Amino acid sequence: MVSAGSVGGFSGLPGGVAVSHLSVYDWPAEVDAEMDAGVCGGTPHMHLTCSEGYVVTGGQGAVQTLTTSGYEVTPLAAGTVAWFTPGTIHRLVNEGDLRITVLMQNSGLPEAGDAVLTLPPQYLTDPETYAAATVIPADAPEAEQERVARARRDLALEGYRALRSAEGPEALAAFHRAAAALVRPRLAEWRERWERGARAAATATGAQLDRLEQGDFSHLADAGVRAEQPSAYGKFGMCGRLDVYKGQ
């Protein structure tokens, strides 16, 4: 993903967003349950501070979402733009070569861990236990990375199935509570990233508006252009294989 900001004072994409290209996993679910029978796709998870947007560039599928308002399925096909806010548990389903350009709010925060997988409760008790079940070893062979990615996906599906089938709001509230506790030790670091990125980008716009009101257009002389190719291809992400950009 590209880090926050804009050319001329910041590096990266406008508005403090991040972008990556995603090929959604075509792995069939290993969970032995009617709701997952024959379904291929990614790892259900939730962001705590970042909205996420999809620009579907090819194939077809759906995104399953679970919030306090209930369970929904949003179809995805080439040309669809879909997005959702923090607190939305989401699972991408691949019904045929589903490819997406993903836009993330608050570039830097998603890369710093602003996502919690829907693991069963016993894996959400503390950061160490959670990490042991979710971290993909960067120096491992690709086959081992794929094994870990599939195992954590299937474990998250187990917890996701329980949340979907639960009656009443208690199970979802318990997951929210556990997720907030897991990320609390990182909040100071997240705030620093937000201040350097998305907040700084918005502040720069405010300063430019102030200058223009005063007849000062000097910032236009600092205009610039930037282009990048992905810095890594096919990384094992939560939802699929990712092409990412410098700064992710």
- pLDDT tens column, 104-118: 999 989 989 999 999
Domain count across the chain: 1
Q: Is residue 2 in a domain?
A: no
Q: Which residue has the higher pLDDT, 2 or 61?
A: 61
Q: Is residue 1 in a domain?
A: no
Q: What is the CATH number for 238?
A: 2.60.120.10
Q: Which domain holds residue 25?
A: 14-244
Q: Report helix, strand or coil for 240.
A: strand
With bands split at pLDDT 50, 70 and 90, how would you rate the model's confidence at 85? very high
What is the pLDDT, as a whole number, of residue 131?
97
Using the predicted structure, report yes or no on whether residue 248 has a pLDDT greater than 60. Answer: no
How open is the CA angle 220-8-189, to the nearest 5 degrees? 145
What is the pLDDT, as a whole number, of residue 3?
37
What is the pLDDT, as a whole number, of residue 226?
87
Using the predicted structure, report yes or no on whether residue 7 has a pLDDT greater than 50. Answer: no
What is the pLDDT, as a whole number, of residue 238?
96
Q: Is residue 50 packed enough to be buried (19+ CB in 10 Å), middle (13-18) or exposed (0-12)?
A: buried
Q: Is residue 20 in a domain?
A: yes
Torsion of the alpha carbons at 19, 46, 147 and 236, rounded to the nearest 10: 0
Residue type present at position 41: G
What is the pLDDT, as a whole number, of residue 83?
97
What is the pLDDT, as a whole number, of residue 91?
97
| Residue 228, token pair as written in the block | 């990048």
Q: Is residue 48 in a domain?
A: yes
Written as one string, the DSSP assignment of 163-197 is HHH--SSHHHHHHHHHHHHHHGGGHHHHHHHHHHT
Percent of the chain with pLDDT over 70: 92
Alpha helices in the chain (DSSP H): 127-134, 142-165, 170-183, 187-196, 198-213
